[in-house]
Amino acid sequence: MTKSTHPWLADRTAAFDSSGIRRVFDLAATLKDPINLSIGQPDFDVPDPVKQACIAAINSGKNAYSQTQGIAPLRDKLQSQLDAQYGHADRKVFVTSGTSGGLVLSMFAMVNPGDEVIFFDPFFVMYPPLIKLVGGVPVPIDTYPDFKIDIQKVADAITPRTKMILLNSPGNPTGVIATEQEQRELAALAAERGIALVSDEIYSRFCYADRFISPAEFNDQTIVIDGFSKSHAMTGWRVGFVHGPTEVVETMTKLQQYSFVCAPQPAQWAALEAIDVDVDDYRRQYQGKRDRIIDALKDDYEIEVPGGAFYIFPKVPWGTGTTFVEAAIAAGLLIIPGGIFSGRDTHFRISYAASDQTIDRGIEVLKQLARSGPKA
């Protein structure tokens, strides 16, 4: 990366680059009618009851700042659900400006300069930059080829400077779900070593085969980050929530007061309505889309079948992830090279949050690319 020459810019801004996803979009800017399997957001619209709740909040004048920790009805409803689910003596919730806001606050609240944060490769693109932003040291743990967690690798990576373990399940970009055993062992290890375990659960409502499992079931000190962006297509509405030990949550709330202030109040009232909106039909639709792609590509690609979210992370049949994606974009297909999410450049990400017609067009391009090989 290039160090900035402008005298006003802080050194921390040179510790990471802009998201590599931007480069994909730059390459695709001149395409006409591209086949877009790159977007990490739902392709369905915000459910009507959620829209109407937001409109009603706006029309009734609920447009000012809310309490920093979120409107009381939303917090109370979430808290009741969490108390029933976990029964922990010390688990408190507050509302954040999206799950990204929750991630930022968790880093600032818990990671000191020089502290190490363990996470799993492949990873969500925000993790390394956020760790570096607060002066932390990213410690990725390789999970190839099957994207499973090897608890011994985690134990071996722990040092006296380890402050946090960051888990994302179902995961972006792989869609893989950590097994109950993996989560139980990770939760126990974090508890034994006195390390903060942060669980990014934004795709929790999109699990296909089994019920969703959180490490908070096995470690009552787990900090959980979740929200409504993916489950209810509210990506632009910026409403997330975090729950965990009271002292951690209150510190994060204090930091939110001096940064994000609060989540948008009308969107919080919409989120209150969203809690009662059934999204099982969307989950079933995504499972069908996943199966559609897997069945079509399994003979041409090495694919670890994802158990959730709406991503597939195949291994490229030739070249690198970057060169393969460049060829795909030249053929009109937008996908994301795996090197953006990983220390390896061997895979690519498909988002099947798209229409069946778009998916079918993408499948045909991917079949042709696999069988034609690289062009000289």
Q: What is the pLDDT of residues 108-167, one digit of tens each?
A: 999 999 999 999 999 999 999 999 999 999 999 999 999 999 999 999 999 999 999 999
Residue 64 reports pLDDT greater than 80: yes
Write down the pLDDT at residue 45.
87
Q: What is the pLDDT of residues 226-259, one digit of tens each?
A: 999 888 878 888 999 999 999 999 999 999 999 9
Residue 363 reports pLDDT greater than 80: yes
Residue 19 reports pLDDT greater than 80: no
CATH fold match for the domains 11-46+279-372 and 64-275: no
Average pLDDT of the segment spanning 293-302: 96
Can you tell me the distance from the alpha carbon of 185 to that of 213, in angstroms, rounded to the nearest whole number?
Answer: 13
State the chain's mean pLDDT as an integer. Answer: 93
Residue 2 reports pLDDT greater than 60: no
Residue 17 — pLDDT band, cuts 50, 70, 90? confident
Write down the pLDDT at residue 373.
80
Residue 352 reports pLDDT greater than 60: yes
Write down the pLDDT at residue 124.
95
Write down the pLDDT at residue 69.
96
Residue 3 reports pLDDT greater than 70: no
Write down the pLDDT at residue 236.
84
What are the residue boundaries of the structural domains of the chain, listed by start? Answer: 11-46+279-372, 64-275
Residue 43 — pLDDT band, cuts 50, 70, 90? confident
Can you tell me the distance from the alpha carbon of 106 to that of 99, in angstroms, rounded to the nearest whole number?
Answer: 10
| Bigger pLDDT: 66 vs 22 | 66
Q: pLDDT exceeding 70 applies to what percent of the chain?
A: 95
Write down the pLDDT at residue 24.
67
Residue 27 reports pLDDT greater than 90: no
Write down the pLDDT at residue 258.
94
Residue 376 — pLDDT band, cuts 50, 70, 90? low
Write down the pLDDT at residue 270.
95
Write down the pLDDT at residue 303.
97
Q: pLDDT exceeding 90 applies to what percent of the chain?
A: 82
Between 3.30.70.260, 3.40.50.620, 3.40.640.10, 3.90.1150.10, what CATH number should domain 64-275 receive? 3.40.640.10
Write down the pLDDT at residue 131.
96
Candidates 78, 119, 82; CA nearest to 96 is: 78
Q: What is the pLDDT of residues 68-118, one digit of tens each?
A: 999 999 999 999 999 999 999 999 999 999 999 999 999 999 999 999 999
Residue 265 reports pLDDT greater than 60: yes
Class of domain 11-46+279-372: alpha beta
Q: What is the pLDDT of residues 169-204, one digit of tens each?
A: 999 999 999 999 999 999 999 999 999 999 999 999
Average pLDDT of the segment spanning 7-33: 74
